[in-house]
Amino acid sequence: MKPISITQLPFPVPRFSTITTSSYEHTSVLDATLSTSSSSALDLVTSDIPINVDRDNSNNYARYPLVDEDCDPLTFLLVDPSDQSFHFSPSTVTNDRDLDDLFPSNSAAFFEQIHLDQLIRSAQAIESNDQTLASDILSCLNSNLHSPVGPPLQRASFYFKEALQAFLLPLVQDDDGKIDYVADAFSLSLSTQDLVRKISAFKSFSDLSPLPQFCSFTANQSIIDAFIVGDHNFFSRPIHIIDFDIGLGGQWSSFLHEIAFRYKARVDVIFTPPPTVIITAVVVDESLETNLMAVNLRDFAAGLGIRFDIECIRVGGMGPAALGSIRLSTEDNVVISFTPTVTMLLSDGGGGDMVDGFLRFVSRVAPRVVVFVDSESCCGADSSQDQDQDRSFRMSFVAGLEYYSKVLESLDSAAAAVGFDEEQVKRIERALIRPRIRTAVRSWGIRDLPWREMLKRIGFKPLGFSEFTESQAVWLIGRAPIGGFHVARKDGSITMSWQGKEFSSTSAWKF
C-alpha cells in the first residue's frame, strides 16, 4: 500500500520549519530506505505534548509541556446516524447481585436495572459457552437499548451490548486457513474521512481528559529513566522501540521531541552525532492509518534533526510467528511497549499459544526496558486480588462496564466545564470509545491475563517511578478542565484515577 501524502488529505496540516538532515537507514535492522520530504509535517495527534528542557541541569530536567496554539482542531466530524428517542417499558428488578452498589448512578429514570442485569447475564451466557441464550438476551435488549443516549451508564451499556453482539458474529476461515471473526464495520480499514474523524475525536478527547497525555508521558519517562538519565553515551547506540499498540503514533512524537531537546543540550557542551531512533510497529495489517502515522513521524523526526527509521510488521493472523521477522542489531538499545490489546493483535485462535509465544519473544529479545501501559487497568486480571488466577469473562465485562461508565461521566463533566456540546462528546464516543470497547470485549474473550505477574515469572523486575515523574504527572492532571484526578505510585506502577476510579496504570520492567 502506497503511503498517503500529507498534501492529499482534505484538511490543512500545520508545519514545522524544515531542518536539513541526511536521511538515515539502519541497514543492519531495516532494509527500507527512508523517503525524504521537502517539508516536515507536524504530528497530527496533539495530545502528546512535547517537553522543554532546562539545560542548567542535565540530570534533573525542569519540564513544562508546550501547547501548540497554532494547531487548530480538525473540522471533519462524525455525524450521528441515530436521532431516535430512548424509551423503556416498566419492569421489576430481580437481580442476583446488588447492582446499585456496583454502579452508583442517578440514571434509573432512563435506564432500568433489569436491562443492566440482562446485559450482565448475556456476558455470563457467553462465558458458559451458551451463545444461543446470549444472542436471545441481546435481541430482547435491542428494543430497550437501541441508541447511545442518556446518562453515562446507559450509553456505556449500549456500546457493550453492541460489542457482545459483534463478539457473537460467526467465525470464518480465511485463504490461509486461519480462523477469525467475520469482518464488520469495526474491523475494516478506516477510510480517509474516518481517519480524519478519528484524529479530530482524539484531539477533542485530549482537550477534555488527561488520560492520553498521562499514558504517553509516564511511558516515555520510564524509558528516559531506564537508560538515558545518567548515561552520557546513550546517543552512541540506536534506540529501537518495538510497539504493539502504536495507533496514531502521537506518543513517539513526544518522545522524539524529548530526545531532540536532550541532544541539543548535549551538543552545546560537546559534539556528538545525532541520535538514532528506530520504531518497529507490530500491526494487524497495513492501513491508511499506519501509513499516515509513519509518514508523519518521519517528517517530524527530520524536522527535529534526528536520524529515524520506522517499519510496520504485519501480523495478519500469523500470531507470535510474525515476530520472527523483526530484525534487531546487537548495537540496539531495545524497548518493548505493549498494552493488553496484544492478545487481540497476536491471537491466531489459541490464547495460550499466543501468550507463550509473546513471552518467549520478550525473553529472547532481552530488552533494556519493557513498558506496559494499561488504560483499562481496573478491567483486567491485574486488578484482581488473586493475581495467580485469570479473571472470568463476566468479571472483566462488569469491571469494564463500570470503568467506561466512569470515563464517560468524566467526559460529560469536562465537556460541561469547557462548553463542548453533546454532539462533540458523541463524536469522541463513536470514533474512540466504541471501538475500544469492542476490542476490549474480544480481548477478554481470548484470555484475560495478569500481565504484571507474567512478566515477573519470566524474570523481569519492576523499575518503579521517581518522585520527579510523579510530580510531573500531578502537574499534568492539574491542567485538566475538571478536578477529581489523582496520581499515585502503587506496587511499582504509577496510576491515574478520577473520583476514586483507576483510569490508567503504567509500569516499567527490566530483565
pLDDT digits (tens, 9 = 90+) for 250-298: 999 999 999 888 888 776 666 677 889 999 999 988 888 999 999 999 9
Asked if residue 161 lies in contact with residue 155, where contact means CB atoms within 8 angstroms, the answer is no
Tell whether pTM > 0.85: no
Other CB atoms within a 10 A radius of the CB of residue 313 amount to 18
Query: Residue 7: is its pLDDT beyond 90?
Result: no
Burial of 69: CB neighbours in 10 Å, binned 0-12, 13-18, 19+:
exposed
Q: Is residue 408 part of a domain?
A: yes
Q: Is residue 204 part of a domain?
A: yes
Q: Is residue 177 part of a domain?
A: no
Residue with cell 518522585: 467
Q: State the cell numbers at 174.
A: 480465511
DSSP-derived secondary structure for 65-116 = B---TT-PPP---PPPS--PPP---------SS-HHHHS--S-TTTS-HHHH
pLDDT per position as a tens digit, 16-63: 332 223 334 443 333 332 233 333 332 333 333 333 333 333 333 333
- Measured in whole angstroms, how far is the alpha carbon of residue 369 from the centre of its chain? 19
**Residue 326 to residue 330: CA distance in whole angstroms:** 13
The H or E element that residue 5 is part of is none
Q: Is residue 141 part of a domain?
A: no
**pLDDT confidence of residue 284:** 87
- Domains identified in the chain, total number: 1
With a pLDDT cut of 90, the percent of the chain lying above it is: 44
Per the structure, the complete domain to which residue 322 belongs is given by 15-78+186-510
Q: Is residue 95 part of a domain?
A: no
pLDDT tier at 194 (50, 70, 90 boundaries)? confident
**pLDDT confidence of residue 391:** 66
Query: Residue 509: is its pLDDT beyond 90?
Result: yes
Asked if residue 305 lies in contact with residue 274, where contact means CB atoms within 8 angstroms, the answer is yes
451 Cβ contact partners less than 8 Å away, ≥ 6 residues apart: 340, 372, 374, 380, 382
101 Cβ contact partners less than 8 Å away, ≥ 6 residues apart: none
Q: Is residue 2 part of a domain?
A: no
Q: Is residue 120 part of a domain?
A: no
Q: Is residue 139 part of a domain?
A: no
Query: Residue 191: is its pLDDT beyond 60?
Result: yes
pLDDT tier at 312 (50, 70, 90 boundaries)? very high
pLDDT tier at 137 (50, 70, 90 boundaries)? very high
127 Cβ contact partners less than 8 Å away, ≥ 6 residues apart: 392, 393, 394
